[in-house]
Structure 1
């Protein structure tokens, strides 16, 4: 059986030693009587962070304030300690790929990325443009007009234009739109490399699987407010109002089910062909008590998996709450 792997992402230069932080302090934005973003504070350092939220939650408004396109109605947004609003110098350190497509279809990819390099007044714009195009695997098609491209190719061209000046902070709104599975895997590898090299990357996506594969760290926006921040597995374990669900297989599932029913932390046990499904009110207590119960009963636990710690579960719980 052959195994296919994603193409290796090109090497990425290391960022400066000092981290450039993206910081929001008590940020709100309203349009008349409509509150789009409500009192959000967050601080992001090097690495990749996913921005999640239902449609209309305020994700795009938040990204536009970070990029300096919108002024906060209240609070401050800074990039590397400098305000993003009305501060053109911030674009020396920041790259943006907006959700809305804005490309000149009569240009080739090389011409489009080269124009971005020249706007940034780079010393060698031609070299920078070719390097950015290579990063997103568009070299073979760089001399074709953008109007002939697929949606995924146009998206990769836009990413190249955002990367051409080697920004320390990268904001991406739905960056994988239109990409096929191979292109998506390569882009994930590239963003991983950039984050590992010290860049601060924030990307939004409505596909939870993409966020889970690319980043365990999330910022969740619900109805304009920051509902949760951090590693999504840690967030799940802090949700004490929801029982935790575990899938367990052992050498004697029936006997283990009887023993577990006596634990104060266990609220329910189901036995099926695949093993046990256990609901526990306290994650820490249950995971400490299970080995003791198994040992005292002479039962060997072969498999123990939290079955509701996926990002999808965490996101669903937060939105419902």
Structure 2
């Protein structure tokens, strides 16, 4: 059970505070790290990888400090957003070089290249690779020593749909094996499909943590939106709008449903079935319409 612990950690560059008093725990499974551009995601990943020293606070792996700890580095694989590659090398030479840094040889490099399906291009120079191929060979380099922790900064950039699906399946498999996988992405649909847990940073601060649907339900200060279909939408709307838990109701003729804004989540979820029963109305569909990751992220960023 490999766990990264970030405890009241800040990092500044001159007068610029990139990460401000962040605490979070990254455990086994797949975690998505979300935030707008400039929120501090790359800085956090670089501190978790041992590339940056925290200005204050600690970043540890299983209670061991990560900064300047060679023993810990052997447990971590990193796929940085920035290239930093040697274009004159072939893909195989690049991965072999990283294998040798870990005391491994050609066999480990071959296995890693096979894992990301890059054998067909392993003897071509990296200078000839597409963006997606470069991403995959970076992934092979990060996996060559079978790390228990994998950190990926925008790993899907430049990948075509097939490559993206292959990488998503690989990360799912690694998370299911009990490895600790953290990835940042600005494509919310990918995070929604892949991550069982999210961490959100906004302007260098930790904004939220957990399953995004649970986060939405905890945001009691934001109206909750529901799509409701019933046997008598107009009668149901008339009965609900009289209660203070309901802020507004629209009849959506294209959906054949009511769009309801509830300002008191707890009261509304009790009220809806009671009102339907009292008026002899059958509820056909009751679905939250704002529990997508995109909605949750928009709320958090605007908060």
TM-score normalised to structure 2 length: 0.96
Tell me, yes or no, if structure 1 residue 164 matches structure 2 residue 137.
no
Aligned residue for 1:141?
Answer: 121
Q: Distance in 1 between matches of 2:139 and 2:86?
A: 15
Matched position secondary structure for 1:198: coil
- RMSD over aligned Cα atoms: 1.3
Q: Distance in 1 between matches of 2:144 and 2:270?
A: 51
Q: Which ranges in structure 2 are unaligned for 5 or more consecutive residues?
A: none
Tell me, yes or no, if structure 1 residue 184 matches structure 2 residue 200.
no
Give the drift of 1:282.
Answer: 2.4
TM-score normalised to structure 1 length: 0.91
Matched position secondary structure for 1:134: helix
Give the drift of 1:181.
Answer: 0.8
Contact 2:40 2:203 in 1 (8 A): yes
Matched position secondary structure for 2:285: strand
Tell me, yes or no, if structure 1 residue 22 matches structure 2 residue 4.
yes
Contact 2:175 2:181 in 1 (8 A): yes
Q: Distance in 2 between matches of 1:140 and 1:298?
A: 66
Equivalent of 2:15 in 29, 33, 38: 33
Deviations 1:233-260 (A, max 9, x none): 1111111111000011122111111122
Q: Which ranges in structure 1 are unaligned for 5 or more consecutive residues?
A: 1-18
Give the drift of 1:167.
Answer: 0.5
Tell me, yes or no, if structure 1 residue 59 matches structure 2 residue 41.
yes
Alignment of 1:310-321 (within 5 A): 310-321=292-303
Give the drift of 1:320.
Answer: 1.1
Q: Distance in 1 between matches of 2:115 and 2:66?
A: 27
After TM superposition, which residue ranges in structure 1, 4 or more long, deviate above 6 angstroms? Answer: none
Give the drift of 1:268.
Answer: 1.1
What is the number of residues matched between the two proteins?
A: 301
Equivalent of 1:93 in 75, 89, 98: 75
Q: Distance in 1 between matches of 2:273 and 2:107?
A: 59
Q: Distance in 1 between matches of 2:282 and 2:119?
A: 55
Q: Distance in 2 between matches of 1:250 and 1:157?
A: 53
